Chains A and B, each alone.
Chain A
């Protein structure tokens, strides 16, 4: 894991989040493990190091906001919220069950800590723009983070949002792309290439930086860099591996939206012990 050795606590937290993801998707019998596992380090850095949060006050006006635009990665959000104390960890195994607040895609109405109900791809950036505009109007210094998928960049609406964030100089907003290079039908570059991602955002008026999305040193440095960009929004292109941390899931498009069978859960948990 390279530089992650320099962050023993975050590394241990990331491993717990991965175990939660496997357990909850395994228990549900459906869900999206691949794109949840690829975002674990990003989410760990945000929820356990960077964001100003108070689990006891999920609607605290001064909190930083996180928008999971790639809503199918709900398991990694639930894992982070549970581990951070927004709800008891034991409840993660209710994922996708009737009556559970852990809906298949995040629903803000039923789970405190979820800022935006997502699932239909492409919405998150424009919603984050609204939150950033409101923060500026209210004179609050909270920061808005939005996590996008790379396949999600194929949605035209993402670029409407990209244009608007630059137009309104939203430097209180940081976007992160979980660039794991896979979508349901195969390699993102083969299905409908959004490349070159960083150059496109720069052309839209953003500051962009590409990093290793599994390296805590690079993630934390990039998030600090993004906070210092003034007068324009910043985006971090996080190069990641879909299914990261579970050998048989890594770089396999088939694990985008498929749950591991019980013996696969055991095997994955053994790898993540």
Chain B
């Protein structure tokens, strides 16, 4: 199976974008070899700014560049982009609606061995709660590439949530990503799985297992968390049972966003696969995903658990 890390796709997409648009600039905070912005730095050294280990300065300087007509992509690990520099993102980028794109890599438990201090598990919740912020969680390399271009074309702040490890390829270049539009990967009538990021592939695996067990399950890639594709959520609800799956705490992320729509517009039984209000720890990504309940098997169990609750 072909795999590519979304951060790798991000780094390569920035170079491609930089060739097409001279207004694109990239900033990093001493992690360019990890966020993969070093590809851009190599090709466009005059348009790359390393701000050092200073994430607040990173975000505010990006705002200043955007206020002067540039399209800055500011990159660091998700935990620092959203936590360390929250005030700069909130008051300096989102509130004044400044055209900054935040390319946040190493999100979620799949950071692995570095442990809980480096595993952003609440970043979607933080970014989603800020007015004016668009939140995108691509599922694979191709979707990441297209999300980078879509973010650059979008006027306003964007949070791009990317991961560390190589993840299976789901899409080819025929796919068309659109901000705010979910993509249904598999139709189904018995239940629907709404997933984002690395959990999209797990959802597809789960759907195959469920098919073998006689359950016809829809799989929706909800790569834009905000603005949420409400129609896609309602279409999923038409199956009568919804399971959400995210590499994030179940408090405030994709599951919460979907629950807000369902609870107010079309209540159906809902289960959330995600991290249960706890920090992560050191370990291999696969071990962590298993320990914290983020595998295809967990999704299968959640879908089966909802079966009895359906009307």
Interface of A with B (CB < 8 Å)? Answer: 61, 65, 107-109, 115-117, 119-120, 122-123, 126-135, 137-138, 156-157, 160-161, 163-164, 167-168
Residue of B nearest to A126 (CB): B60
Cross-chain contact B88 with A109 (CB below 8 angstroms): no
Cross-chain contact B64 with A137 (CB below 8 angstroms): no
Contacts of B60 in A (CB 8 A): 123, 126-127, 129-130, 157, 161
The reply to whether the CB of B221 lies closer than 8 angstroms to some CB of chain A is no
Contacts of B95 in A (CB 8 A): 107, 117
Contacts of A108 in B (CB 8 A): 67, 96
Residue of B nearest to A122 (CB): B56
Interface of B with A (CB < 8 Å)? Answer: 25, 46-47, 49, 51-52, 54, 56-57, 60-70, 72, 87-88, 91-92, 95-97
Cross-chain contact A157 with B56 (CB below 8 angstroms): yes
With A109-B97, A126-B56, A130-B65 known to touch, is A168 a contact of B70 (CB < 8 Å)? Answer: no
Contacts of A133 in B (CB 8 A): 49, 61, 64-65
Q: Kindly list the 5 A-B residue pairs having the minimum CB-CB distance in the complex, ordered from nearest.
A: A130-B64, A134-B68, A126-B60, A160-B57, A117-B96
Residue of A nearest to B66 (CB): A130
Residue of B nearest to A130 (CB): B64
Residue of B nearest to A168 (CB): B49
How many angstroms between the C-alpha atoms of A256 and B95 in the bound complex? 25
Quote the shortest CB–CB distance from A170 to chain B (angstroms). 11
Cross-chain contact B92 with A109 (CB below 8 angstroms): no
19 more CB-based (< 8 A) A-B contacts, given A117-B96, A123-B88, A130-B66: A61-B69, A107-B95, A116-B96, A127-B63, A129-B57, A129-B64, A130-B61, A130-B65, A131-B65, A131-B67, A132-B64, A133-B61, A137-B47, A138-B69, A156-B56, A160-B51, A161-B57, A163-B54, A164-B57
Q: Return 30 A-B CB contacts under 8 Å, by A number.
A: A107-B95, A109-B97, A116-B63, A117-B92, A122-B56, A123-B87, A126-B57, A127-B61, A127-B67, A129-B57, A129-B64, A130-B60, A130-B68, A132-B64, A133-B61, A133-B64, A134-B64, A134-B69, A134-B70, A135-B68, A137-B70, A138-B68, A157-B57, A160-B52, A161-B57, A161-B60, A163-B54, A164-B51, A164-B57, A167-B52
Q: Which of A107, A120, A131, A164 contacts B92 (CB 8 A)?
A: A120
How many angstroms between the C-alpha atoms of A108 and B65 in the bound complex? 15
Cross-chain contact A130 with B62 (CB below 8 angstroms): yes
With A126-B56, A127-B67, A164-B51 known to touch, is A120 a contact of B87 (CB < 8 Å)? Answer: yes
Cross-chain contact A123 with B52 (CB below 8 angstroms): no
Cross-chain contact A134 with B92 (CB below 8 angstroms): no
Residue of B nearest to A120 (CB): B91
Quote the shortest CB–CB distance from A144 to chain B (angstroms). 8
Cross-chain contact B96 with A131 (CB below 8 angstroms): no
Quote the shortest CB–CB distance from B18 to chain A (angstroms). 13
How many angstroms between the C-alpha atoms of A167 and B91 in the bound complex? 25
Quote the shortest CB–CB distance from B69 to chain A (angstroms). 7
How many angstroms between the C-alpha atoms of A168 and B64 in the bound complex? 14
Instruction: Name the residue in A61, A115, A127, A167 with the highest tally of chain B Cβ atoms < 10 Å from its Cβ.
Output: A127
Cross-chain contact B68 with A164 (CB below 8 angstroms): no
Contacts of A168 in B (CB 8 A): 49
Cross-chain contact A123 with B92 (CB below 8 angstroms): yes
Instruction: Name the residue in B66, B72, B96 with the highest tally of chain A Cβ atoms < 10 Å from its Cβ.
Output: B96
Cross-chain contact A131 with B57 (CB below 8 angstroms): no
Contacts of A115 in B (CB 8 A): 67
Contacts of A163 in B (CB 8 A): 52, 54, 57
